[in-house]
Amino acid sequence: MIRQLTAWILVCGLVMAQQQPPAPDGTVTFRANTQLVVETVVVKDKNGKPVEGLTAKDFVVTEDGVPQTIQFLEFQKLDTQPDPSAIPAAPPATVTVPAVTRSQITPETPGDIRYRDKRMLAIYFDMTSMPVPDQIRALGAATKFIRTQMKPADMLSIMSYTGAAVKILNDFTSDRDQLETSIQTLVVGDGQGFDENAADESTADSGTAFGQDDAEFNIFNTDRQLAALQTAVKMLGTLNEKKSLIYFASGLRLNGTNNQAQLQATTNAAVRANVSFYPIDARGLVAQAPLGDATVGSPGGSAMYSGGSALAVSSNFQRSQDTLYALAADTGGKALLDYNDLAQGIVQAQQAVTSYYIIGYYTTKPALDGKYRKVKVSLSSDASAKLDYRVGYYAGKTFSKFTTADKERQLEDALMQGDPVTELTIAMEVDYFQLNRAEYFVPVAMKIPGSELALARRGGAEHTVIDFIGEVKDEYGTTVSNVRDKVAIKLSGETAAQLAKRPIQYDTGFTLLPGTYTIKVLARDDETGRIGTYMNKFLIPNLNKVDKRIPISSVVLSSQLVDMKDALFTARDKDKGLIANPLVQNGQKRLPNVTRVFSRNKDMYVYLQAYEPNAATMQPLVAFVTFYRGQTKAFETAPLPVTEALANRLKTVPLKFILSLGKLQPGRYNCQVTVLDPTGQKAAFWQAPVMLAP
């Protein structure tokens, strides 16, 4: 949904060098764009043995039929002999847990030869798709391979996905002890619980225990799993060598054509990154009961007796393996299905990568148009040799050429990555207000400097679009709420010029239970593609357990009230309509001052709520606001007596102040709000730093 942002918003690389026209000040800008294409080519003779000793003159490379000039060629010779240092299958005496989990693969730097003549194997555990028994088998298989089947040429990386983000547990290394330690840090059962209901005759009759439509959940869940794979291969794409990703999962079932776009995007990303998938079905060889075993409920209905349920169970199992097979076939890998020795799947990937040549050339088609380029590599001297290589690739894209699907995938990928993106600056404030004995409304305000947004002239007006995407996770890493919004800002004349000096503020809200949460939000300027990330933890206390002091909400400091008709966003619940936002009163909304920098020429609005859920009748309260400069009291309001409460079970007492700051000197202060209950002899205090600007 696109919403127009009215004036109140804060009025509140690639080939030949191209010379640009001289700028008004007489300077000249040069842009040099190059696009390096790297191909890994396995050359074998008619007997299947690797061919060595070839040079760049022996290869002929064409792209879309146009001959290309090879700039460099390197031969990677992999040792296929067993490693005499392989250790027996026994657990180590001690385990040292790494202090920090990595979120990126270390890229190669010029002159870095650490990966020369090495086989690059990345073991990826999709914990969300595997029940506990399958997780145990997968971790055991990886441990077995590391202990007894690794070879001197092997370098392994350990990756995992638990529903929150793709994690790099270990960068590429040949250190067995380090790799084993990384695997043992994975918690069996972590991420498990995303079981899908097929929404057909095989689905257990659970009385619609899952509140949302099962089919909608399945589509989203499969897309997330495929997007996580896409993120993983992009991480591996920073290395030029040929990579193999061993993908442990208990099948991956597509939901009709709904997941085809993400499947294609994942496959394309793997081809670009020179990564081959080697999926391993962690279920092994399965002999299942026609209607499922004791781990699932009875599907019920007439399909149990007509054979429809048994057919659906068998079909769903087969489709889950078909996706694994497709991922392998489309990227040059091989799937291990219906086999109980899961370590054999890693051995397959190991044996598939033999000695190969790395060929690099600068393409004669540097345009970043995202189009497919067909590559052909042949030998000029030996027509009988068999060559195995990537037969094409998709060119990169500039953001201006992104399709709607490209833009969505970019945001989802950035949201899933562990590292933040800092191209845009975002400030955020998260507050909480108690709605009832169980739920809390959590308003979230985000502020972006207007100077960081690129404005484009469209239809005679300044125009830009900001995309917002975010999610809230609980302390176990489970997503409990999310936000996705697109805001169009259309300004003209003087207001467009003022935007460069003033920020843009966006707000939304969630309904949550008490607990510790992590919020991660991304904002993107839709004109330039620049992204900013904000991520932080916040706590919603259980105010029902507060008895020695007055339970109060967050304190919101604001310098602006706006009419609701001009509000950028108002939180809504799809079933309940407009949520009772405490910051909205009498048709006006308080905009939290996220940075807490106030002008002495404007009033400050202070708002909070106190709660008296256990009182038979509302107890009168007294509140006041104090400004401290160091240890000196600089200003204090007169005590505000409050004798009225809202008509609800919490006996919510709104506390509102309007402060004139003109008499205070510019500088830093500590703002303190004090709430007193003279009858119950209780108090509550809140304090935060503020800045007064001239």
How does strand 433-434 pair with strand 2-5? unpaired
Rounded to the nearest integer, the mean pLDDT of the chain is 79
Helix (H) or strand (E) holding 60: strand 59-63
- The pLDDT tens digits of the residues spanning 52-98 come to 889 999 999 999 999 999 998 988 887 666 555 544 444 443 333 34
DSSP string for residues in 563-631: EGGG-S---EETTTEE---TTEETTEEEEE-SS-EEETTS-EEEEEEE--TT-SSPPPEEEEEEEEETT
Q: Just give the CATH number of 419-541.
A: 2.60.40.3880
Domain regions of the chain by residue span: 34-77+358-394, 119-354, 419-541, 545-694
Give the right CATH number for 545-694 from 2.60.40.2550, 3.30.420.10, 1.20.58.1000, 3.90.1150.10: 2.60.40.2550
Helix (H) or strand (E) holding 510: strand 503-512
Q: For residue 654, what pLDDT is reported?
A: 92
Which whole number is the average pLDDT over 368-386? 84
Residues near 248 by Cβ (< 8 Å), separated by ≥ 6? 123, 124, 125, 126, 130, 138, 141, 142, 280, 282, 342
Measuring CA to CA, how many Å separate 260 from each of 255, 264, 373? 9, 6, 22
CA distance linking residue 77 with residue 139, whole number of Å? 30
List beta partners, residue 67.
Answer: 62
Cβ neighbours of 498 (radius 10 Å): 15
- The pLDDT tens digits of the residues spanning 438-494 come to 999 999 998 887 777 765 555 455 677 888 888 999 888 888 888 888 888 776 666
Confirm whether 419-541 and 545-694 share one CATH topology: yes
CA distance linking residue 148 with residue 448, whole number of Å? 54
- Does residue 18 have a pLDDT over 70? no
How does strand 682-693 pair with strand 597-599? parallel
**Could you tell me which of 266, 265, 269 has the C-alpha nearest to residue 249?**
266
405 or 481: whose pLDDT is higher?
481
**Could you tell me which of 105, 364, 70 has the C-alpha nearest to residue 241?**
105
- Torsion-angle region of residue 405: left (phi > 0), alpha (psi -120 to 50) or beta? alpha
Residues near 319 by Cβ (< 8 Å), separated by ≥ 6? 253, 254
- The pLDDT tens digits of the residues spanning 105-143 come to 887 776 677 788 888 999 999 988 888 899 999 999 999
| Residue 387 near residue 379, CB atoms below 8 Å | yes
CA distance linking residue 252 with residue 247, whole number of Å? 11
Cut 0.75: pTM above it: no
Fold of 119-354: Rossmann fold (3.40.50)
Measuring CA to CA, how many Å separate 13 from each of 31, 107, 112, 142, 368? 10, 18, 22, 39, 8
